[in-house]
Amino acid sequence: GAVVSQHPSRVICKSGTSVKIECRSLDFQATTMFWYRQFPKQSLMLMATSNEGSKATYEQGVEKDKFLINHASLTLSTLTVTSAHPEDSSFYICSATGGPGYEQYFGPGTRLTVT
Amino acid sequence: AQSVTQLGSHVSVSEGALVLLRCNYSSSVPPYLFWYVQYPNQGLQLLLKYTTGATLVKGINGFEAEFKKSETSFHLTKPSAHMSDAAEYFCAVSEGNFNKFYFGSGTKLNVKP
């Protein structure tokens, strides 16, 4: 089956620094990748949709300058949390799909802790 | 617009008892419906999905769900709970093309010995 990986699985950073999270589709070409955020004991909230080679589409209320998304290739999307603050601490999950009509496959998630 | 409601943020059953996790959705187009399971600090694992065809779908680990259009429901069941079923379960709906998933708030299942 299709596999999506995320790196790192856990990261701790200091307030004010930036951190990059990678999402890779290992055995298929992902024309579209999605980034979700999950707060403790809550559901997944879609942050943005990224299509390979174009700018990401952000959901309402998500700061695009704070959460930079790059989808430079058909197998890699990155989420960079810029000038991180403790309130950015969360579980970030990506998913990938081969395109409209193709199923989404979810990555294992990245736990970000900002101190 | 799509939305998902999961009744009961916590459900507790005894080992061997029936598991019933409720999910109701709203959708302006024929929905694709999913159930995912999440173990602590892990990503989502697909249990089962409904796209078209048979309304009773069987998934992994003995789970099944029935799409009832008239009730806009997609409840998840398992005849006999196992300790390893203790986890959080999310119902999700998409717009019929696997894009833009909308998740319910999740139900944490506790299985008592």
pLDDT in tens, chain B (113 residues): 678 999 999 999 999 999 999 999 988 778 899 999 998 878 888 999 998 889 999 999 999 999 999 999 999 999 999 999 999 999 999 876 667 788 999 999 999 99
Instruction: Look at A44 and B103 and tell me if their CB atoms are within 8 Å.
Output: yes
Which is it for strands B64-68 and B73-78: parallel, antiparallel or unpaired?
A: antiparallel
Nearest to B97 among A6, A100, A106 (CB): A100
Mean pLDDT of chain A, nearest integer: 91
> What is the nearest CA distance from A103 to chain B, expressed in angstroms?
5
Instruction: Look at A102 and B41 and tell me if their CB atoms are within 8 Å.
Output: no
Nearest to A106 among B44, B100, B104 (CB): B44
Work out the number of other CB atoms within 10 angstroms of the CB of residue A11: 17
B52: contact with A, CB 8 A cutoff: no
A109: contact with B, CB 8 A cutoff: yes
Q: What DSSP assignment string belongs to chain A? A: ---EEEE-SEEEE-TT--EEEEEEESSS--SEEEEEEE-TTS-EEEEEEEETTS--EEPTT--TTTEEEEEEETTEEEEEE-S--GGG-EEEEEEEESSTTSPPEE---EEEEE-
The pLDDT assigned to B34 comes to 93
- Tokens standing for residue B110: 């506790």
Name chain B contacts of A108, Cβ cutoff 8 Å: 42-43
Name chain B contacts of A34, Cβ cutoff 8 Å: 100-101
Nearest to B99 among A32, A44, A108 (CB): A32
The pLDDT assigned to B100 comes to 78
Name chain B contacts of A95, Cβ cutoff 8 Å: 101
Question: Of chain A residues 35-64, which have a CB less than 8 A from chain B?
Answer: 42-46, 49
For residue range A63-94, list pLDDT tens digits in order. 999 999 999 899 999 999 999 999 999 999 99
Say yes or no to pLDDT of A99 above 70: no
For residue range A15-63, list pLDDT tens digits in order. 999 999 999 999 889 988 999 999 877 888 999 999 888 889 999 999 9
CB of B3 within 8 A of CB of B72?
no
The pLDDT assigned to B41 comes to 76
Sign of CA pseudo-dihedral B55, B16, B88, B107:
positive
Round to whole Å and give the CA distance between A86 and A90.
9
Chain-centroid distance, C-alpha A68: 9
Location of structure tokens 């790059």: A70
